[in-house]
Structure 1
Amino acid sequence: MEQFQYIETDLVVRLSHGDEAAFAAVYELYSRRIYYFAYRFLKNKEQSEEIVSESFLNLWVNREKLDASYPIGPYLYTMARRQTLNVLRSIATSKAAQEKLWLWFNEAHNETEEAILVADLERFSEESIIKLPQQQQQVFRLSRRDGLSYDEIAERLDISRNTVKNHLVRAVKTLRVQLSRSHLSIFLLIAFLLQKK
């Protein structure tokens, strides 16, 4: 986990100074994810590839403004989201279609963003998760990795819904303490996950 953060911080510093090799490494790390993010909404290969190109062009143009203390992934996803939304808006011709599109996009984006955030949280915090008590680990994984609701977890583990909630709240609090020296993004991810239910 720390090694990944060190590598990403190093890449951001080098990129901000115009290092093309660092830019290529960031592209290798995130381009496929950005492509699938855009494709989930656009269902169009060329448009999704264009979103990737625009996102990375934007990243290169604004490289000097990058802050090495923040991860680069959320920055790229934010740019990709804006560009994807602009493409979708240009497709919608009537006001009603635009309103419908906006509602659908926000719903779909929240699901996709949550999946991305959960994936990032798992990557950064797996070592902390395995330190949790066994039942907290199990509840946390069923909720955040498998996407089960409190009721589904309660039924599967043969415990009450309230017990599920308590285990999840305790797990998130423990992770917050264990990750207190980690990247700021981890706190944002945990806060997001805590608000989910």
Structure 2
Amino acid sequence: MPKILQDDEKELLLQLRSGDQKAFNVLYQAYERKVYYHLKKLVHLPEIAAELHQDVFLKVWNKREYLDPERSFEGFLVHITKNCAIDFYRKAARDKQLTDQLALQMTELHDPITDSIALKETNHALEKAISKLPQQRGLVFRRIKMEHESYENAAWHFGVSVGTIKDHMAKALQFVRTEVINSKRFFLSVFMMSSLVEMLRRLFL
């Protein structure tokens, strides 16, 4: 739809503020593509962008009495769009399925710097998890998993049975796996929020 002239937009905003559905429809058609484009850049997932797109315009309608015809309607839209995107990322940080979706999408859009940061974070999480193990269990884990020693040699080295080594490893693996996964989810949540802030800065500020 052609760009609305400034004076026409002021009149439409006055009408919208009074609850005029036709004025809302005209403004929606003028800006809906731009809003969707910004949202898609922010959240990466087209289906999420489509949902948030509807939320943005629903909020415009619900907040219509706060519209100031003397101020930019596009600026008003930008403010609501930013808030919807931020709310989405906060929700994603608490939703495992949504976090996994974003993780997959970010993997497809990966870059070397992001990969390097993620690898460092994983190594840090692994070391932190190992440090929480009981002393001997941590030593057994390092010897077998990181130094690639056999169970038999580890049993001889520590002066215990192979069964004891296997028990140490089973418990260590379960603990370390849980710790690393939880740490990576936290890192992804922080990374998503920092990425959002950077995208908002580039797109809107």
The residue aligned with 1:85 is 86
Instruction: State the partner residue of 1:25.
Output: 26
Code of the aligned partner of 2:197? N
User: Paired residues, what number?
Assistant: 112
Report runs of 4+ in structure 1 exceeding 4 Å deviation: none
Name which one, 1 or 2, has greater alpha-carbon Rg.
Answer: 2
| Aligned with residue 192 of structure 2, among 88, 101, 107 | 101
| 1:87-115 deviation digits (Å, cap 9, x = unpaired) | 1222235443332222211111111115x
Aligned ranges 1:105-120 → 2 under 5 Å:
105-114=196-205
The aligned residue for residue 66 of structure 1 is 67
* C-alpha deviation, 1:59, in angstroms: 0.9
What is the root-mean-square deviation in Å for CA atoms of aligned residues?
1.7
TM-score normalised per structure 2:
0.51
Look up the match of 1:8: 9
2-side partners of 1:87 and 1:18: how far apart? 28
Q: CA deviation at 1:60?
A: 0.8
Identity %: 23
Listed one character per residue, the Cα deviations across residues 60-101 of structure 1 (whole Å, up to 9, x for unaligned) are 111122111111111111111111122122223544333222
Q: 1:29-178 to 2 correspondence within 5 Å?
A: 29-93=30-94, 94-114=185-205
- Secondary structure of 1:92's counterpart equals helix
Question: Unaligned 5+ residue runs, structure 1?
Answer: 115-197
TM-score between both structures, scaled by the size of structure 1:
0.53
8 Å contact from structure 1 (residues 8, 71) kept in 2: no
